[in-house]
Structure 1
C-alpha cells in the first residue's frame, strides 16, 4: 500500500473522523492530554514506593488516601457551583494550577507523612477541575461521538505511558527518591504549560455561558442549598444510580491497583523494581492496539455486553495476581494483559454511560454531586485496602475481585441509553 493510500485510510478511520467532526475544545483537550499523561505515568509506578522508601507505612498510605477522599468530597460539591459561576474554562485552569502545579512542587520536597498529606490535600483541587474539564470536553460535542472522544482521552494518556521506561532507567541508576523528586518538579512545569494552552485555545461552552449568566448575582451558599432539590431528582433516576454504582466500584478498584500493585509485586512476589516501569508500557500497548484496531468495530454492541466482558476480564486479572507464585513474571503479565483489554472496554463506556444519563442543563452540578458521592462512598476503602495489605498483600486484590462481580450484576440491570441530538 502506498504512503498516500495509508494516509487516506488513516483519515477515514472512525477515530480520526471523531476529531475532524469535533473541533475546538474536544480536539484541543485531547491533544494536550499528554502534558498531564507523560509526567503522571513516569511517576505513577513509583509514587507509592517513593512514600514507602521514605518510611511511610502501608497503613499511613491508606490513611492519606482516606483523608484526601473526604477532602475531595468537599471540593467536589463546590466544583459544580464554581464551574457554573466562573465558567468551564476558568475553573479547569484553576484546578490544573492548584491541583497539580502546586501539589507537585510539594510532592517534590516531601520526606514525611505530613508533607505527603499536604500535597495530597492540595491535589484535591483536581476534583474541581474534573467537573469543569468534563463539561468543557463534551458540552459542544456530538453525543454520538462521546465513546470516541473518551477513547481519544484514554489514547492520549496511553501514548504518554511509552515514556515510562525513562523513569525505570533513571531509578535503576540513581534510586527511587531523587528521580521521583525531579519528575514531580517537571510535572509542575508541564501543568503550567497545559494551563496556558487551555487559556489560549479553548473557549467557554454554550451551556457554560448560559449557566454563568443564570448564576450571576446568585450567592454560592444559595446555589449550595439548591442541591436539596437536585439530590432527590438524582435518587429517583435509576439509570443514573446504576451508572454511579459502577463508577464507585471502579473508583475503589482503581485506588487499590494504583496504590498497592507496586508494593505487591516487589514486596511479596519479589520482582525487581525495574519492572514497574515496563508493566504500564505493556498495558498501554495492548490498550492502544485494542482501541485503534477493535474498539470502533464494537459500536453495534453498545454498552452492556462490552462492559460485561470487560468486568469479566478484570476478574481474570485479579485472580492471576492473587494466585501468582513468587518470582513468577508470567502470572503478572496475564494480569497486565487482561486488565488492559478490560480497561479499553470499560473506561470509555462507563464515562459515556454516565454523561448520557444525566440532565445536560444541570450537567455541572450533577457531575459534581456524582463525583462527591463517588468519593464519599469510596473514602473508607483507602484505609481498608491499606489495612488488608498490612495483613496479606493479596487481600486488597481479592477484595477487588468481589467488587468486579458486583459491578457485573449491576450492569446486567442497566438499559441501553439513547443518543439523540437533544441530549447535548
Structure 2
C-alpha cells in the first residue's frame, strides 16, 4: 500500500469520520484538549519538587494535598448546581479561567506556603468545570458516538504524554524552579486561549438551556436543598450504583498505581530511576495503537464484554507485578503493555456507560454527585495503601487485585447500554 492509499484509508477511519462529521461542541472541545494536556504533562512530574525546592516541607505539602482533597469534594458536590444555574458553557469557561489560568499564574509566582495553598484552592474549582465540560461535550451528541468521543478524549491526553520528557531536558539544562515557572505561565496563557475559543465556537446545549430556564428563579441554596430528594434516587438506582462502585474502584487503583508503582519497581525490584520516564510513554504508545487500530473493530461485541476483559487483564497485571523477579525489566515491560490494553478497553467504556445510565434531565447534578462520591470514597485509600506499603511493598498490589475481582463481578452484572438507554 503506497502513501496515498494509506492517507485515504486513514481518512476513512471511524474516529476520523466522527471528528470530521461532527461540527458541534465535541469537535471543538476535543481539538482544544492539547492546550490543557501538553503543559499539564510537562509540569505534573515536577510539581511537588517545585514546591519542595522552594522550602515547602513534607508536612506542608501533605497539608496542601489534604485541604485540596476536601475542597475538591465540596466543589464536585456543587458542580451540578452551578452548571444547571449558569449553563454548561459559562461554567466551563469559569472553571478554565479561575481553576487553571488564574491558578497557574499564582503557581508561577509562588514562593511560600500560602501562595501554593491559594493556587491549589483555585485549582479545585476545576472540579466544577469537569461536570460542565462533560455535559457540554456529550449532551447534544448522538448516543452511538459517545464511545468514539470518549476515545478521542483519551487520545488527546495520551498524545500529550509524549511531550513530558521535554521538561526533563529543560530542567537538566537549567534548574527546576525557573523552568516550572515558565511552564506555568505557558499553561496560564494556553487556558486563556481555551476560554476564548470556548466562548466563540461552543454553544450551550439543549438540556443546558432547559435547566437554566427551570432554575432561573431558584436560589443556589434551594437547589442544594433539592439534593435531599436526588441523592436517595441515585442510591436506589442499581445500575448507577454499579457504575459508581466500578468508578470508585478504578479511582482507587489508579491512585495506588500512580503513587506506589515507581516506589515498588525501584525499591523492591531494583529498577534504576532513569527508566521511570520510559514507562508512561510506553503505556501511552500502546493505548494509542490499540484505540486507533483496534477499538473500532470491537463495536459488534457486546458493550460490557470488552470492559470485563479489561478488568480481568488489570487483575492479572496485579499478580504479574507481585511475582516479578527482582531486576526483571521484561516482566515490567509486559506489565505496562497489558495495563495499557486494559485501560484502552475499560476507561472510554466506563465513561460512556455512566452517561448512558443516568437520567439525561439530571445529568449535571448526578455527574457532580458521582464525582464527589468517587473522590470522597477513594481518598482514605491513599493512606491505607501507604500503610500497606510500609509493611510490604507488594501488599498495595494484592489489594488492587482483590478490588479488581470485585469490579469484575459487578461489571458481569451490568446491563449493556441499549438496555440502560431504554430504562432512561
C-alpha contact 1:70 1:379 (8 A) present in aligned 2 = no
Q: Report if aligned partners of 1:310, 1:342 keep a CA contact under 8 Å in 2.
A: yes
> Residues 68-89 of structure 1, C-alpha deviation per residue, up to 9 Å, x if partnerless?
2221121012111111111101
Query: Cα distance, 1:16 vs. partner?
Result: 1.6
Measure, in 1, the Cα distance between the counterparts of 2:266 and 2:115: 25
1:264 is displaced (CA, Å) by: 4.0
Tell me the alpha carbon deviations over residues 278-319 of structure 1, each in whole angstroms, 9 at most, x when there is no partner: 222111110011001100111122322111211122223333
Unaligned runs of at least 5 residues, structure 2: none
Provide the aligned length of Structure 1 versus Structure 2: 424
Shift of the 133–280 alpha-carbon distance from structure 1 to 2, 3 Å rule, reads: same
Cross-structure match for 2:122: 122
**Shift of residue 154 of structure 1?**
0.6
Worse overlay, 25-34 or 246-255: 246-255
2:284 is aligned to 284
After TM superposition, the structure 1 = structure 2 runs for residues 259-278 of structure 1, keeping only pairs within 5 Å, are 259-278=259-278
Structure-2 change in CA distance of 1:420 and 1:240 (3 Å) = closer
- Counterpart Cα distance in 1 of 2:325 and 2:52: 23
Deviation at 1:66, TM superposition (A): 4.3
1:148 matched residue in structure 2: 148
What's 2:330 paired with? Answer: 330
Give CA deviations for 1:202-249 in whole Å, capped at 9, x if unaligned.
111111111111111210011111111111211121111101111111
CA separation in 2, counterparts of 1:339 and 1:37? 21
Higher relative contact order (CA 8 A, sep 6+): 1
Structure 1 gap segments, 5+ residues each: none
Question: Which is worse superposed, 387-396 or 403-412?
Answer: 387-396
2:172 matched to 1:168? no
Q: Which residue of 1 aligns with 2:225?
A: 225
Write out aligned runs for 1:33-52 (5 A).
33-48=33-48, 50=50
For the 8 Å contact 1:64–1:120, the answer to whether it is kept is yes
Structure 2 distance, partners of 1:276, 1:135, is: 36
Change in 2 beyond 3 A, CA 1:43/1:63: same
TM (norm. structure 2) is 0.90
Q: Equivalent residue of 1:10, what SS?
A: helix
Check conservation: 1:62, 1:385, Cα contact below 8 A. no
Indicate whether 1:354 and 2:348 are aligned: no
Q: Give the equivalent residue in structure 1 for 2:256.
A: 256
**Superposition RMSD in Å:** 2.7
- Once the two structures are TM-superposed, the CA of residue 414 in structure 1 deviates from its matched residue by 0.8
TM-score, normalised with respect to structure 1: 0.90
Matches within 5 A, 1:6-405: 6-48=6-48, 50=50, 64-109=64-109, 116-174=116-174, 176-405=176-405
How many Å separate the matches in 1 of 2:179 and 2:257? 22
CA 99–110 in structure 1, closer or farther in 2 if over 3 Å, else same: same
Cα distance 1:148–1:200, how it changes in 2: closer, same or farther (>3 A)? same
Please give the alpha-carbon distance, in whole angstroms, between the structure 2 residues aligned to 1:288 and 1:130: 23
Residues 153-185 of structure 1, C-alpha deviations (whole Å, 9 max, x = no match): 111111111112212323444455554443333
Structure 2 Cα separation of the partners of residues 64 and 134 of structure 1:
27
